[in-house]
C-alpha cells in the first residue's frame, strides 16, 4: 500500500470542501481508498493505493475537483458577490424557482 497525505491551507471553508468532495467516492475502491479529514483550517487527504499509477490517477482527479471547489467558494463567498440571475418575486405574482421558471 502507498499512502499520500496533503494539507491545503488556502481553504477558507475546509468543512464545506470536505463535504463536497466526500460525495464522490473512488471509482475502483478495491484499488484505491481515500479519506478526508479537517484539522483546524487544514484539509488533510490520505490516499492508499495498490500501485503508483492508481495513486497518480486518483490524486490528479481529486486535485482537479479540489481546485474547482475552492474556486467556486472563492467566487460565491466574495464579500461583494450578489447573485444577479435570481428574479425578484413580487407580491401576488406566481412563484418562480431560482431560474425564473414558474412553479406548478
Residue 59: give its domain's CATH number.
3.30.310.50
The β-bridge partners of 34 are 47
- At residue 74, the pLDDT reads 80
Contact 72/84 with Cβ under 8 angstroms? no
Within a domain: 37: yes
Print the domain residue range for 46: 2-76
The dihedral sign for the CA sequence 59, 65, 66, 71: positive
Within a domain: 11: yes
Within a domain: 28: yes
Within a domain: 86: no
Question: Does residue 21 register a pLDDT over 60?
Answer: yes
pTM of the model: 0.66
CA distance 91 to 88: 10
Within a domain: 99: no
Q: What percent of the chain has pLDDT over 70?
A: 62
- At residue 95, the pLDDT reads 57
Within a domain: 93: no
The residue among 61 and 91 whose pLDDT is bigger is 61
- At residue 39, the pLDDT reads 83
pLDDT digit string, tens, across residues 54-75: 999 998 999 899 889 888 888 8
What's phi and psi for 38, nearest 5 deg?
Answer: -110, 130
Domains in the chain, number: 1
Within a domain: 67: yes
Within a domain: 97: no
Average confidence (pLDDT) over 16-33: 89
Question: Does residue 10 register a pLDDT over 80?
Answer: no
CA distance 70 to 96: 30
CA nearest neighbour of 21 among 51, 76, 59: 59
Amino acid at each position: 500500500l502507498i499512502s499520500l497525505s496533503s494539507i491545503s491551507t488556502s481553504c477558507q471553508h475546509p468543512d464545506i470542501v470536505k463535504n463536497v468532495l466526500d460525495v464522490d467516492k473512488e471509482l475502483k475502491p478495491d484499488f484505491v481508498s481515500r479519506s478526508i479529514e479537517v484539522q483546524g483550517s487544514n484539509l488533510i487527504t490520505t490516499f492508499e493505493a495498490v500501485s503508483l499509477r492508481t495513486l497518480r490517477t486518483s490524486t490528479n482527479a481529486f486535485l482537479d475537483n479540489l481546485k474547482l471547489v475552492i474556486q467556486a467558494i472563492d467566487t460565491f463567498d466574495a464579500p461583494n458577490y450578489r447573485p444577479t440571475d435570481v428574479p425578484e418575486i413580487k407580491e401576488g405574482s406566481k412563484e418562480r424557482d431560482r431560474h425564473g421558471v414558474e412553479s406548478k
